Homo-oligomer: A and B are copies of this chain.
């Protein structure tokens, strides 16, 4: 102990990791760290990781599937003890093949055989049913969807919920436009809606960023919200409550989501497969971009 102080000795975590075959690092892959949805997940995950002695290595893949694979490969070579992947865009086959090589894995918003990875999914289907029901209750009949990437599992679930609910009301989806999941995507989407010439009185968006971009264009074109067109987003990011008019949205407990994913991952690392899959219910938050309940 005297020598420790004398030489300012620090244990070398690398060497320790090599010996005990555990790096003490868990990876977290997110599509875009600049999208405010993900930092809260990261924070939840990190808050759960540190007390358990793990360091969180979070990687941003800037919405690029090739980079997603490359990053996952890097993490595996670093012998991370486990990996959490948010909204993976890879094909099932490639994803499962790679993830199988991990000691432990948890997928957020993607399903997988429980032997390969634990899963945490937001029930966007149910959430979107609530959103559509609310719109129809307020006499909206011409509903459009500003969707996300086709490769996104969450996008498919949202669409499924929307179609199902519309069907229940004897309605059809007026328009379905894929958008990149950011403000620019919403701007482009809005233009596509307006240029289509179709009658639209409500737009549901894949996420709040798209909704915010859309809102900007509609206001510019002097379209009254919600009078002419009601808008609903998804995620409930900070900006959703701040824009004008404030945005109705599906709130997702993002920090809880991250923490739950991390706890599940640690359970799997320790070979305790207590819970195999968790489903989180989003909550419909009504603000001025749709009329009251």
Contacts and interface: CB of A to CB of B under 8 A. Distances in A.
Interface of A: 8, 10-15, 17-18, 23, 25, 33-34, 36, 38-40, 42-43, 46-47, 55-60, 62, 74, 76-79, 101, 183, 212, 238-239, 242-244
26 contacts: A12-B79, A13-B74, A13-B77, A14-B18, A14-B23, A14-B79, A15-B18, A25-B57, A33-B39, A33-B42, A33-B46, A34-B39, A36-B39, A38-B39, A39-B39, A42-B60, A43-B60, A46-B60, A57-B57, A58-B58, A212-B242, A238-B239, A242-B243, A242-B244, A243-B243, A244-B244
Most buried by B among A8, A33, A38, A40: A33
Contacts of A14: 14, 17-18, 23, 78-79
A54 to B, nearest CB: 10
Contacts of A25: 57
A138 to B, nearest CB: 23
Contacts of A58: 58
Contact of A78 (B33, B55, B238, B243): B55
Give the residue among A23, A36, A55 with the most B Cβ atoms within 10 A. A55
